[in-house]
Amino acid sequence: MMAQEGPLGAGQLQAMKAGGEKIVVLTCYDASMTMHCEQAGVDVLLVGDSLGMVVQGHDSTLPVTMDDMIYHTRLVARARQRCLLATDMPYRSYLDQDQALQNARRLTEEGGADMVKLEGGGKIIDSIAHLTANGIRVCGHLGLLPQSVEELGGYKIQGREQDAATRMCEDALGLQQAGAEMIVLECIPAGLARRISESLQIPTIGIGAGVGCDGQVLVIYDLLGITPGKQPRFAKDFLAALSAGKGITAAIETYVTAVRKGAFPDDEHSFT
């Protein structure tokens, strides 16, 4: 990717998609990891509410608060120089349009985020339109929705049934029309993700959604092999494969290169 002075704008994100240039995203929760990501050439840092599980030790993302997200966003914002900084809006922080705008402004003004990410389609599209109309940059999120994991019956692949796939395609177009600048697609069949990606002008960012997306995101702790226990199928430990003497920045650089070349995710790390 060509050098840039500041974070990617909406036009640049769409230009990368149009030019077939993959967008590299990683979750990030603190200043030290931010500096490694910047050095390695990551495009977008996502302060994910996944911190509830990998940092705070919860069983889900649901206990994460607005204050938690603002705190961790500030840590990343202090260290980042070039990366676009996106932050998850936590569970029950966007129940209606007014609440969504109030909390999104807190994340951007108090936390320093460039963009906020909301989970879902359908019923929240009006709230996303309200945010973008008020100058808030938005990333959507479809497929497996961690904040709705109880309603979904667990961490399961989404969009395999025809009705669900059709609805997801419709939601993706609705998010684009509402002004979202990119959409995360999580744990859906690779064919469906490609279909959605090809139908949109804005980029899609996959996690467990195959190589046909316009970019990829991983939880940085998964990339570094830090997360204990069984790993999700879409995760890959990029640090483990490095020769002795190479560290965190080199592992992230390997991930960046693999995403840019379309080598990650492969079939082993995707779903059908």
Three-class HEC string of the chain: CCCCCCCCCHHHHHHHHHCCCCEEEEECCCHHHHHHHHHHCCCEEEECCCHHHHCCCCCCCCCCCHHHHHHHHHHHHHHCCCCEEEEECCCCCCCCHHHHHHHHHHHHHHHCCCEEECCECHHHHHHHHHHHHCCCEEEEEEECCHHHHHHHCCCCCCCCCHHHHHHHHHHHHHHHHCCCCEEEEECCCHHHHHHHHHHCCCCEEEECCCCCCCEEEECHHHHCCCCCCCCCCCCCCCCCCCCCCCCHHHHHHHHHHHHHCCCCCCHHHCCC
Q: Is the pLDDT of residue 59 over 60?
A: yes
Dist. CA 266–CA 195, nearest whole Å: 17
Q: Is the pLDDT of residue 4 over 70?
A: no
Residue with the larger pLDDT of the pair 6 and 236: 236
Residues 6+ positions from 135 with CB-CB distance below 8 Å = none
pLDDT tens, residue by residue, 210-262:
999 999 999 999 999 998 888 889 999 999 989 877 999 999 999 999 999 99
pLDDT above 70 coverage of the chain, percent: 98
Mean pLDDT over residues 182-188, rounded? 98
Cis peptide before 203 (omega within 30 of 0): no
- Distance, in Å, from the CA atom of 180 to the CA atom of 13, rounded to the nearest integer, reads 11
Model pLDDT, residue 1: 44
Cα dihedral 183, 189, 195, 200, rounded to 10, equals 0
Average pLDDT over residues 187-216: 98
Q: Which two structure tokens, joined as six digits, stand for 51?
A: 């911190």
136 domain residue, yes or no: yes
pLDDT confidence band for 79 (50 / 70 / 90): very high
Active site residue 186: yes
Whether the per-residue pLDDT at 193 is higher than 80: the answer is: yes
Q: Give the pTM.
A: 0.96
Is 80 inside a domain boundary? yes
Domain membership of residue 167 (yes or no) is yes
pLDDT bin (cut points 50, 70, 90) of residue 150 is: confident
Domain-located, residue 98? yes
Of the candidates 186, 198, 253, 268, the residue annotated as catalytic is: 186
| pLDDT tens column, 111-134 | 999 999 999 999 999 999 999 999
Cα–Cα distance for residue pair 179/23, rounded to 1 Å:
19
Which amino acid is located at 210 in the chain? G
In 3D, which of 207, 181, 179 has the Cα closest to residue 193? 207
Q: What is the structure's pLDDT at 3?
A: 47
Roughly what angle, to the nearest 10 degrees, separates helices 190-199 and 162-177? 30
Tell me, yes or no, whether 5 lies in a domain: no
**Does the pLDDT value for residue 2 go beyond 60?**
no
The domain that holds 91 is classified in CATH as 3.20.20.60
Domain that holds residue 175: 10-269
Confidence (pLDDT) at 153: 76
pLDDT of residue 155: 84
The pLDDT of 65-84, averaged and rounded, is 97
- Do 265 and 211 touch, CB atoms closer than 8 A? yes
pLDDT in the model for residue 252: 98
Q: How many domains does the chain have?
A: 1
The predicted model gives 92-106 an average pLDDT of 98
| Number of residues assigned to the chain | 272
For position 35, what pLDDT does the model report? 98
- In this prediction, residue 5 carries a pLDDT of 64
Tokens coding 14: 């769409």
| Contact criterion met (CB below 8 Å) for 221 and 236 | no
Token pair listed for 55: 């940092």
